[in-house]
Chains A and B, each alone.
Chain A
Amino acid sequence: MPNVDLLRMTISELAPKIQNKEVSPVELTEAALAEADRLQPTLNSFITILHDGAMDQARKAESAISRGDYRGPLHGIPIGLKDNLATAGITTTVGSKVLANHVPEEDAEVVSRCRNAGAIIIGKENLEEFAAGATSNNPHYGAVHNPWGLDHIPGGSSGGGGANVAAGVTFVSLGTDLGGSVRLPGAFCGVVGLKQSFGRVSQRGLMVTSFNGDHIGPMTRSVADSALVLQVIAGNDPLDPSTVPVPVPDYSAHLGKGLKGLKMGVPSNHYFDMLDGEVETAVRRGIAALEDLGAELKEVSLPSMHYIGALRISAMADGVVTHEPFLKSHREDYGPDVLYRTIPGQFVLGRDYSKSLKVQRLIQEEYARVMQQVDFLVTPTAPVPAPRIDAKYIKMNGEDHRVRGPGSGLISRNTSPLNAIGLPAITVPCGVTQAGLPIGVQFITGPFEESLLFQVADSYEKVSPSQGLRPTVTVGV
């Protein structure tokens, strides 16, 4: 099989071939690195490509597998890591000039788990500066380009990972999601993006901007692959107090079980209030398809979402406190979008911070009640398809909304609520616009119900109009 065909496969398809020694991890990694080199001038999806390190790991994987020491589905699989995940001995910039030469001494917990599972790390991926935005248009390392439309953003902040998975460079990329930063690249790049329950995956080794909602999650080419990766990275970390010692189930066990008897909640407010027409049509078609598969539709109301914007208040204060040491010593190294979006956090009053947390609790309680009535929720992932890289504003309902920097937030309005609420959410491709840009549908379940989330997402994926669609990247334009 030609290497380019191998690079288009999913982990679920490829892993048995690696285990059976039909596919060599060394040849696979060589192919992935060659594709990374070929596409880097066009997509700008990496900050660092790890040629030597990846080939060393690949040779070790091949040797282990040939001895019969197969470690599981990630063994020998080329993966990418967002460059805000600490990697021992490897530069970890967090997309910033401030940390341009930062070399951590230890791996992040998720990185250790991936290494132990035999995954091959081929590079550190480009992102928004300090992961603080939804465009991946980085002032220091350049803009990441969307493989489906090179003039468009891939979403962010984990845009390099979304672009790489969609373009067939990596089989999975680990991103981080504080307001949608895995799910938005998932939606804009036409791949699957998972933000699991808060506390399910260790944050240790991530530069956490807020301990109230940051998550590390995978972007993959299928729901089944997302389940395989979560299986590796999920679990209690005794050194990360945010993780919860809930047993890790077999996430693949419910795949293929269908939707009959499940109650599907469709919010009557917020999530469908500000939407591009093509996005709404695609998601409504998705909902109809889910009904055809046997899910029972129930409209649900979430009136407290009227106040969801108040959660930004505590996030503002968390942001400035995280950045304060860097701002005092390296302020001149910040790009203007992150700088002037972060500093206003110093004006947040403690009273208002506390109110913000109370609103968060109010909304959490409301979702807890709603999740007693339904098994899962369905919403659009992003309200619009990927904007152009040079777009400063998006017009919606007659108003201009900033795409990036101070005052922005439209793109993440459907994803960011789930970060503070803590419920698991996944985006699955549900079609493309007339211009050929992907659209994503978001599924949400109760806490620690990722097995159900995968069951729902997998059922939909099999009937999605995006099945079999892939971008063709024109190099050298």
Chain B
Amino acid sequence: MKVSITNETLKAMIRDYKGLELSDEELELVRPELESYLSELEKLEDLDLSDLFSSRLLHIPD
């Protein structure tokens, strides 16, 4: 399922985290970069990030 973030959520983040203001038109202009961020996150869903040195050597036995 393709992940997305609504303009309402983005506006709430800007408001609550004191972010840089963006108009509705500007929110559309930042979409390509945001979509790229979300698409890369999706790819990470099947990646086991615990398999790094030294977690690889120090882990709870299966």
Contact = CB atoms under 8 A, between A and B. Distances in A.
Interface in B32-62: 32-37, 39-41, 43-44, 47, 49, 51-53
A472 interface: no
Contacts of A347: 5, 10, 13, 19, 34, 37
A343 B20 contact: yes
Nearest to B22: A343
A406 B37 contact: no
Contacts of B14: 346
Contacts of B20: 320, 324, 327-328, 331, 343, 346
B30 interface: yes
A312 B40 contact: yes
B30 A340 contact: yes
Contact of B30 (A312, A344, A348, A352): A344
B43 A348 contact: no
Contacts of A320: 20
A331 to B, nearest CB: 8
B40 A310 contact: yes
Interface residues of A, number: 32
The number of chain B residues touching the other chain, given as a range, is 20 to 34
Contact of A309 (B19, B40, B53): B40
Contacts of B47: 307, 359, 362
Contacts of B30: 340, 343-344, 406
Contact of A365 (B22, B29, B37, B52): B52
B8 interface: no
Contacts of B5: 347
Given A340-B26, A340-B33, A358-B49, A310 B19 contact: no
Nearest to A356: B40
A388 interface: no
A359 B36 contact: no
Nearest to B50: A358
A1 B9 CA distance: 68
Contacts of B34: 344, 347
B52 A362 contact: yes
A365 B49 contact: no
A313 interface: yes
B33 A406 contact: yes
Contacts of A348: 37
Nearest to B18: A346
B41 A344 contact: no
Given A307-B47, A347-B10, 19 more contacts: A307-B44, A309-B40, A310-B41, A312-B36, A312-B37, A313-B41, A331-B20, A336-B29, A341-B33, A347-B34, A358-B49, A358-B52, A359-B47, A362-B51, A402-B32, A406-B29, A406-B30, A406-B31, A406-B32
11 contacts: A306-B43, A307-B44, A310-B41, A312-B36, A313-B40, A316-B33, A340-B30, A340-B33, A348-B37, A362-B47, A406-B29
